Structure 1
Amino acid sequence: MTDGKLADIDRYIASFPPDAAFILERLRETVHAAAPGITESFKYDMPVFLWGDSHVFYVGGWKKHVGLYPVYPQAPDLEAELAPLRAGKDTVRLVYSKPIPYPLVTRLVKARIKELKARR
């Protein structure tokens, strides 16, 4: 973890009702499993996953959904899967009342890290 922000992220997740907190924690685990070595920080009042000094995405919990920000346009096959979850140009919305597509989140994390590696 980075910036000594682990306690802030733990408090953030704990501030949600149990069902939402469970999803937020499972998303956290999914991101770490997809990219060992990813770190976390807390910026703009929400958790952010980092690869090196670059963000993978921010996670914002809301009353009825969790948002992933920013999720830039992806390869056509991945974007086709994300399309029903898009809530804005660079936003993916995962509604608590629907099954959370954790495998899709894994592919999204891996695609973002591939993009970041290509920039180096």
Structure 2
Amino acid sequence: MSLKKFFSVGEYLSSLTDQQLLVAEQVRQAISQAVPEAEETISYNMPAYKFKGVLVYFAAWKNHLGYYPLPSGIEAFRDQLKEYEVSKGAIQFPYSHPLPLQLIADIARFRLEENRSKKK
């Protein structure tokens, strides 16, 4: 991935290698289907999905796809994330393992419901 500033998700995706693109497109589709009311945008120079605030972000790295569902998204699914590298706000899905698309979608839906309940 380059250090270029991206203005659309399509532009971001066009900068990826074939392997990264395959994974990123699967994640994009899983999120879009899980939370169709979310707005797809670029934030912090990576794809983001927003509904009453940010739901999730993702980014393609050299050896993994980073998924960023904010700390609450990680805490709510901590038991299902034991096989992945996890930090306070990030999950690493290695390209060498099958992508847990259902889990990615479930986390996005959880974040949507969390944001829906906000008093904005």
TM bucket, shorter chain: 0.7 to 0.9
- Across the aligned residues of Structure 1 and Structure 2, the Cα RMSD in angstroms comes to 2.1
Moved over 3 A (4+): 73-77
Deviation string 1:9-63 (CA, Å, 9 cap, x unpaired) is 11211211112101101111110100112111112211111114x1011111100
Q: 1:72 aligns to what SS in structure 2?
A: helix
Task: Tell me how far 1:82 sits from its aligned partner.
Answer: 1.8
Deviation string 1:55-89 (CA, Å, 9 cap, x unpaired) is 01111110011111243245877220023324311
Counterpart in the other structure of 1:20: 20
CA distance in 2, matches of 1:74, 1:104: 11
Task: Calculate percent identity across the aligned residue pairs.
Answer: 23
- Cα contact 1:49–1:55 (8 A) shared by 2: yes
In the superposition, the TM-score normalised over structure 2's length comes to 0.83
Structure 2 residues not aligned, in runs of 5+ = 1-5
Q: 1:78 to 1:88 in 2, by over 3 A?
A: closer
Q: 1:61 to 1:74 in 2, by over 3 A?
A: closer
CA distance in 1, matches of 2:30, 2:107: 11
Q: 2:78 aligns to what SS in structure 1?
A: helix
- Cα contact 2:69–2:111 (8 A) shared by 1: no
Structure 1 stretch displaced more, 71-80 or 16-25: 71-80
Matched, 1:42 2:54: no
In the superposition, the TM-score normalised over structure 1's length comes to 0.83
Structure 1 residues not aligned, in runs of 5+ = 1-5
Amino acid at match of 2:59: G
